Structure 1
Amino acid sequence: MSVEAFTVTRSKLTGPRNKTILITGGSAGIGLQTATLLHDLGNNVVVLDRAPAPKSFSTSSRFLYQQCDITSWTSQRGAFEAAVKKFGGIDGVFVNAGIAEYKDQFFRDEVDSTGLLAEPDRRTLMVDMNAASDTVRLAIHYMRRNGKERGGSIVMTASLAGYLASAGAPLYSAAKHGIVGLMRALKNDTATLGIAISVVAPGITLTDILSGRKEGESLQEWAST
């Protein structure tokens, strides 16, 4: 069965409106574009990020920025609490923050102070799977407060690597497979609470998350090499 490609333009996007939506990793890339679109549609937007707040929202009363380390449960929980305190509740959460593969953790042998094989660096899994799972847990908790009639929506940023895997990025691929699996495992239970849960799976997208860029090299320069 063939699948026909289609394009969604901003002019065709009419909702959601008048909602409060929280986005992790919303200061750049896909997260920032999502935040901008949702704000333009008339929603309250809450951005959680370690990077500084986007300057484009600096004068908006419908915007809240929370500097947040998503690998810290208390940091994330505090940011959700701040969102509820300012806007009264949360209707949507975009589980978007993530990082690319960090070095070679399988075929490059490094030793520790004992002279034996060093412990692998698990930051990719910690951010892209563990912290993302924490965001989903918090989203469900705060949306349950809304009641089933109001419910909410959770959208997780997976990747094409979450379906096909990506050579050279095994931990990133494993984490994104985990995101897809998490959605599939939760969707029936969240539906009983009036909470929709879904994933988006972008292909290669020119954002700051891309690895292999040289210092000072623009995304366009990286893409052309």
Structure 2
Amino acid sequence: MRQRKAEAETGPRRVLITGATRGIGRAMALRIAREGYEVVITGRKPSPQADEVLKALEDMGAKAHALYFDVTDRAAAQTALTEFTAEQGPFWGVILNAGINRDGPLAGMSEEDWDLVLETDLGGFYNVLKPLILPMARRRSGRIIVMSSVSGITGTRGQTNYSAAKAGLIGAAKALSAELASRGITVNVIAPGVIDTDMVTAEDRERILPYVPMRRLGKPEEVAGLAAFLLSDEAGYITRAVIPVSGGIF
């Protein structure tokens, strides 16, 4: 009853998840849909993976949409998000999950690998949130979750580009949380460790597992569970937090 009343007053609890066609993003989309949220997934372009996620959401009875744009393309992101918001109304939640890595020692890192990781992982923060902030602020309630990494907290050898981008996201999220707190919008950071997705190679497993106190990789569903909590009413007084999901690795 309270949720129906809230929707009548402020609109549906619609959540945008960038990079939701696989891995952690896919797990979050499915978990959040089970909690009753309307889900909008994004990807760079239509794909079988996106179709599969949409079908899975619809089979669950969830209301779901897909938007396609590259988070590094500021104009494309603004157009897609502004048009969708104009038609459907403001988002209640945003999960910034899209990201890439291009690992290697800095001495041998190409300019392209440096720029692409920063433009995707950190630049996407601005490109996606800029068109959405004012509509969310007018609604005076909402949730923003930023996916960083333990690499952004500690720095990881061979990941200077990735660590820089993920550390930048933590700073940006903390600043934004201060700007939006009076509007009833929380901004929090999830910092996964080594999660069992296709971004983790066999070499990564062998190299990193000895340093994980729990001696296993995390599951995407374990990250998704935290995201669902941070979206919930119970998390309404949590903001500016950085929460690792890492099996104890630091």
Q: Mark yes or no: TM-score above 0.5.
A: yes
TM-score, normalising length from structure 2?
Answer: 0.68
Indicate yes or no: 2:20 matched with 1:26.
yes
- Equivalent residue, structure 2, for 1:73: 74
Letter of the 2:106 partner, please give it: F
1:190 to 180, 189, 193: 180
Asked whether the 8 Å contact 1:21–1:91 carries over to 2, the reply is yes
Report the alpha carbon displacement of residue 157 of structure 1 after superposing the two structures with TM.
0.1
1:55 aligns with 2:52: yes
Residue 103 (structure 1) shift: 4.7
Task: Decide which of 30, 37, 42 is 1:43's aligned counterpart.
Answer: 37
1:55 counterpart SS class: helix
In the aligned structure 2, how far is the partner of 1:222 from the partner of 1:170? 16
Match of 2:144 among 137, 154, 157: 154
Q: Return the alpha-carbon distance in structure 2 between the equivalents of residues 156 and 119 of structure 1.
A: 26
- Alpha carbon RMSD of aligned pairs, Å? 2.6
Distance 1:54 1:96 in 2: 18
Tell me which of 109, 125, 133 is aligned to 2:118. Answer: 125
Are 2:137 and 2:180, in contact at CA under 8 Å, matched by a contact in 1? Answer: no
Please say if residues 103 and 158 of structure 2, whose CA atoms lie closer than 8 Å, have aligned partners that are also in contact.
no
Give the match for residue 93 of structure 1: 94
Aligned to 1:203: 193
Q: Say which SS state the counterpart of residue 65 (structure 2) adopts.
A: strand
Query: 3-state SS of the aligned residue for 2:72?
Result: coil
Aligned pairs for 1:157-168 within 5 A: 157-168=147-158
Summarize the alignment of residues 166-181 of structure 1 with structure 2, pairs less than 5 Å apart.
166-181=156-171
Instruction: Give 1:196's aligned amino acid.
Output: T
Separation in 2, partners of 1:89, 1:45: 13
Structure 2, unpaired ranges of 5+: 1-6, 208-250
Cα distance, 1:63 vs structure 2: 0.5
Q: Distance in 2 between matches of 1:28 and 1:82?
A: 25
Whole-angstrom distance in 1 between the partners of 2:157 and 2:135: 37
TM-superposition CA deviations, 1:147-205 (whole Å, max 9, x none): x2xx2111000001111111110110011110111112222111022211110000011
- For structure 1, the residue ranges without an aligned partner over 5 or more in a row are 1-16, 110-117, 214-218
Contact 2:144 2:187 in 1 (8 A): yes
Q: CA deviation at 1:61?
A: 6.4
Secondary structure at the residue paired with 1:104?
coil
TM-score normalised to structure 1 length: 0.75
Contact 1:20 1:87 in 2 (8 A): no
**For residue 14 of structure 1, what is the aligned residue in structure 2?**
none
| Number of aligned positions between the proteins | 190
Amino acid at match of 2:154: L
1:108 is matched with 108
SS in structure 2 opposite 1:42? coil
Match of 1:144 in 2: 137
3-state SS of 1:94 partner: strand
User: 2 CA distance for matches of 1:57 and 1:108?
Assistant: 40
Instruction: Look at both structures and tell me which one has the larger radius of gyration over its CA atoms.
Output: 1
- Distance change >3 Å, CA 50–CA 208, structure 1 → 2: farther
32-41 vs 52-61, greater mean Cα deviation: 52-61
What SS does the corresponding residue of 1:192 show, helix, strand or coil?
Answer: helix
* Alpha-carbon distance in structure 1 between the residues aligned to 2:186 and 2:62: 27
Find the counterpart in structure 2 of residue 223 from structure 1: 205
